[in-house]
């Protein structure tokens, strides 16, 4: 009997990581159904972006001058634009641009912000004062205004757009992470690391940074929707990614005022895709914040 009990305990321990992960997913879905819906939309968007070449019936740059401004039909499900390009295919390929810019800008902005916030909280004193005043100056500008200023300096293009969107996110993440890092700095293990003679860089990266991952992940997820919206805004203004790259903002720009009545599908479907993506990331980000913040957890 004792042997069988030990065997069962061993099997339970072997299966516990997978079981805990599955239970966490089920609990998240049950307690926060809106967040689960957002996660499903995000997963679908990622799969569409990864399989764009198989899902899209046409290439993103393929033109059909005999079907310019064609209404939605069996051949072109969502119609065509002024160059005869299939709107449905360009929307599928545009999801790649949205995810590349969103993930790239969010990761760079949140990571640099987290490092700055933790370092500022750890060193304190005059360094913290100077860093926080710089963050105050940057955070005083609206996201779109600061992004426009960075694009004006760096120029257009995919890489520059990612940097232009990431820079305004740095101070926002730095402020949030710093508030958590101030509490972590007073923990006994940080004092023990100092007493052991560890370098400041090791204490910041190995002892403090891993303990502020919850606000970092929350900010990273929250920034994704904002980054996608900013990329679409910059592209619509002509300061983001440039033709012939397939991007939802560029598709809205192509659906100019003169096509608003004759070809409304050129603006409606890309706008719907932007709204759905931002909506999904916001839902998931809010639910993730509720799940990771102990003050907001349901008992």
Structure-derived torsion over alpha carbons of residues 159, 163, 166, 171, reported in degrees to the nearest 10: 170
pLDDT of residue 36: 87
Q: How many domains does the chain have?
A: 1
pLDDT of residue 288: 80
Please report whether residue 107 resides in a domain. yes
Please report whether residue 3 resides in a domain. no
Please report whether residue 46 resides in a domain. yes
Please report whether residue 16 resides in a domain. no
Q: Give the helix/strand (H/E) hosting 15.
A: helix 2-31
pLDDT of residue 277: 92
Residue-range definition of the domain harbouring residue 265: 32-292
Tokens of 52: 């764009």
Q: Where residue 99 sits, what CATH number does that domain have?
A: 1.10.3720.10
pLDDT of residue 71: 84
Q: What is the DSSP string of 90-142?
A: HHHHHHHHHHHHHHHHHHHHHHHHHHHHHHHHHH-HHHHHHHHHHHHHHHTS-
Q: Which of 183, 159, 156, 140 is nearest to 238 (CA)?
A: 156
Please report whether residue 38 resides in a domain. yes
Interacting residues of 72 by C-beta distance below 8 A, sequence separation 6+? 78, 79, 265
pLDDT of residue 256: 63
Please report whether residue 21 resides in a domain. no
pLDDT of residue 204: 85
d(CA 216, CA 289): 10
Structure-derived torsion over alpha carbons of residues 4, 8, 13, 16, reported in degrees to the nearest 10: 180
Interacting residues of 68 by C-beta distance below 8 A, sequence separation 6+? 80, 81, 82, 83, 84
pLDDT of residue 74: 85
Residue 18 neighbours by CB distance under 10 Å: 9
Residue spans of the chain under pLDDT 70: 1-17, 24, 254-258, 293-299
Tokens of 110: 């949140």
Whether the model clears a pTM of 0.75, i.e. scores above it, the answer is: yes
pLDDT of residue 43: 92
Please report whether residue 58 resides in a domain. yes
């Amino acid at each position: 009997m004792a042997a069988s009990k030990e065997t069962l305990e061993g099997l339970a321990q072997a299966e516990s990581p997978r079981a805990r992960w599955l239970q966490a997913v089920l609990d998240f879905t049950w307690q926060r159904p809106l967040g689960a819906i957002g996660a499903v939309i995000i997963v679908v968007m990622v799969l569409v972006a990864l399989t764009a070449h198989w899902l899209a019936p046409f290439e993103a740059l393929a033109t059909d001058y005999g079907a310019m401004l064609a209404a939605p039909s069996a051949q072109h499900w969502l119609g065509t634009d002024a160059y005869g390009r299939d709107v449905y295919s360009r929307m599928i390929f545009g999801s790649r641009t949205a995810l590349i810019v969103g993930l790239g800008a969010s990761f760079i902005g949140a990571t640099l912000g987290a490092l700055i916030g933790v370092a500022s909280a750890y060193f304190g004193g005059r360094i913290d004062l100077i860093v926080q005043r710089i963050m105050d100056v940057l955070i005083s500008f609206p996201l779109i205004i600061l992004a426009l200023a960075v694009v004006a300096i760096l120029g257009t293009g995919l890489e520059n757009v990612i940097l232009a969107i990431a820079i305004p996110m740095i101070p926002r993440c730095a402020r949030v992470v710093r508030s958590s890092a101030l509490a972590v700095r007073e923990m006994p293990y940080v004092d023990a690391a100092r007493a052991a003679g560890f370098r400041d860089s090791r204490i910041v990266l190995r002892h403090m940074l891993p303990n502020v991952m919850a606000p970092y992940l929350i900010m990273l997820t929250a920034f994704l929707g904002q980054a996608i919206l900013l990329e679409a805004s910059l592209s619509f203004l002509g300061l983001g990614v440039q033709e012939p790259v397939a991007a939802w903002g560029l598709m809205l720009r192509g659906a100019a005022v003169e096509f608003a009545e004759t070809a409304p599908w050129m603006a409606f479907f890309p706008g719907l895709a932007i709204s759905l993506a931002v909506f999904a990331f916001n839902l998931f980000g809010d639910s993730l914040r509720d799940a990771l913040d102990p003050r907001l957890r349901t008992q």
